[in-house]
Structure 1
Amino acid sequence: MMKCIAVDDEKLVLDLLVDNIQQMPYLQLVKRCRNAMEAAEALHAHDVDLIFLDIQMPGLNGLQFLQSLKHPPKVILITAYPEYAIEGFNLDVVDYLLKPVSFERFLKACNKALELHRLQQKPVAKEDLPDYFFVYVEYIQVKVSIPAIVYIEGMKDYVKIYLDNTTKPVITKISLKAIQEKLAGFRFARTHKSYIVAADKVTAVKRDLVCLGGLELPLSESYKAAVGDMLTL
């Protein structure tokens, strides 16, 4: 069962969206919201797996609201404006639906969200995971050994992957979030919006710093708990 909220400032549209949600046996609606502030309150009060989100709303619009979330759940955007599609998918939304939305199209988007949810919930045995991945470096696919990774630095559309067997980082055009997904099942921790570190390479943790030998990287308050959990495993 996926817990969800529906966010739209138009009552009739919201009523129809709620009706569609209630026909999905694997969706549980925990809150209907008329604006971003109500949605923020709902996320604080409930463990939400999926947001059905309108874009054009008074005050904070849907995309601004989504960008404000540090760890957003899965999102299906529902809007009358096709011009925001690229920006929406750059924010890793599950799907982008244009109003008026047919039930068949709505069902397809929900099934896609369910499939992603199940993949994330399904435990994967570490021995079944390859200990490497490939990234493009200047149009060439380069193999990166996961055990060799010391830390990763995000730079907007690019990342630098620092390895223990070379002084020159691997630089590739990919998001930090996409790299983090490749590392799922391995001992890596996000320490800052721009950094991921290998837990086994951490030698000390100071107040706002993670130390990897003589190297010190920033540790944000919002990631301290996750880092602590990873280091105690």
Structure 2
Amino acid sequence: MTKYLIIDDEHIAHEIIKDYCDLIPGLMLSKHCYDAIEALEYLRSHSVDLIFLDLNMPKLKGFDFLKSLSKPPKVIVTTAYQEHALEGYELEVIDYLLKPFSFERLLKAVNKALTVEHLNPLNIAPENRNKSDFIFLYSDKKHIQIKLDDVIYIEAAGNYSKIICTEDQLLMRVKISEMINKLPQEMFIRIHKSYIVAKRHIKTIEGNRIAVHNKHIPIGKVYKAGIDALLEK
């Protein structure tokens, strides 16, 4: 799970960034900070992997805050002012988002930030990974072992998830939004609000749909960038 921090003096900016990040598997908000001083205080006793940083804030400007950090995490600048972009790149800022920005633009920036550290929840598959061959899910008062290599795709069914395997299928009382966090991200990718697919079982990607096993599954608009990133590997 990649922990992130939002530093911005505008409440609406926090809402937009969090709403977008909620659509990206593997991201977890650590804290809302409304000025850089509050962020410095938080970072003294907590660590994060990624910061969304506004520049024009009271008390301490964004770049002055960044210069004060001895070992800053990855930073994506979010600002309404384009003229500071050069200074941002000199400080090794990962990306520079000019407000207002779209979900697709933020997703591209997040992918770039996480790829730098080989942590991308959408498309990175490290060669030497430690992964489990199975997970346990609780259903009907018992824990059921799910062999990950057997899972072809998972389909949302309200508060349940339908797990389609090579030889059978299971209906588990787990929301698909919770299911994606239980799965190894190098093996599975969410392609639609109602579908997660196993990368190893993808047969073809054509237009806005994916073929797995004997089923064609649509690619949701907000997940298209993740599929594009997968194809670029």
Give me the TM-score of the superposition, normalised by structure 2: 0.51
Amino acid at match of 2:45: K
Match of 2:150 among 142, 148, 151: 148
Matching of residues 9-158 of structure 1 within 5 Å: 9=10, 57=11, 60=12, 62-63=14-15, 65-69=17-21, 70-71=23-24, 92-95=28-31, 107-109=44-46, 111=47, 120=119, 125-126=127-128, 128-155=130-157, 157-158=159-160
Relative to total residues, which structure has the larger helix share, 1 or 2?
Answer: 1
Percent identity of paired positions between Structure 1 and Structure 2:
18
- SS of alignment partner, residue 210 of structure 1: strand
Amino acid at match of 1:224: K
Q: 2:18–2:29: 8 Å Cα contact kept in structure 1?
A: no
For 2:165 and 2:223, the matched residues in 1 are separated by 23
Amino acid at match of 1:162: I
For the structure 1 residues 142 and 73, does the alpha-carbon distance in structure 2 shift closer, same or farther, using more than 3 Å as the test? closer
- SS of alignment partner, residue 44 of structure 2: helix
- SS of alignment partner, residue 179 of structure 1: helix
For 1:123 and 1:164, the matched residues in 2 are separated by 22
For 2:19 and 2:155, the matched residues in 1 are separated by 20
For the structure 1 residues 136 and 203, does the alpha-carbon distance in structure 2 shift closer, same or farther, using more than 3 Å as the test? same
- SS of alignment partner, residue 108 of structure 1: coil
1:124 Cα offset (Å): 5.5
Extract unaligned runs of 5+ from structure 2.
51-72, 74-113
- SS of alignment partner, residue 184 of structure 1: coil
For the structure 1 residues 107 and 177, does the alpha-carbon distance in structure 2 shift closer, same or farther, using more than 3 Å as the test? farther
For 1:146 and 1:95, the matched residues in 2 are separated by 33
Match of 1:223 in 2: 223
Amino acid at match of 1:183: P
Q: 1:66–1:72: 8 Å Cα contact kept in structure 2?
A: no
1:160 Cα offset (Å): 2.4
Match of 1:164 in 2: 166
Match of 2:195 in 1: 195
For 2:141 and 2:127, the matched residues in 1 are separated by 32
Amino acid at match of 1:7: D
For the structure 1 residues 145 and 181, does the alpha-carbon distance in structure 2 shift closer, same or farther, using more than 3 Å as the test? same
- SS of alignment partner, residue 203 of structure 1: strand
CA RMSD across the alignment: 4.3
Match of 1:179 in 2: 180
- SS of alignment partner, residue 45 of structure 2: helix
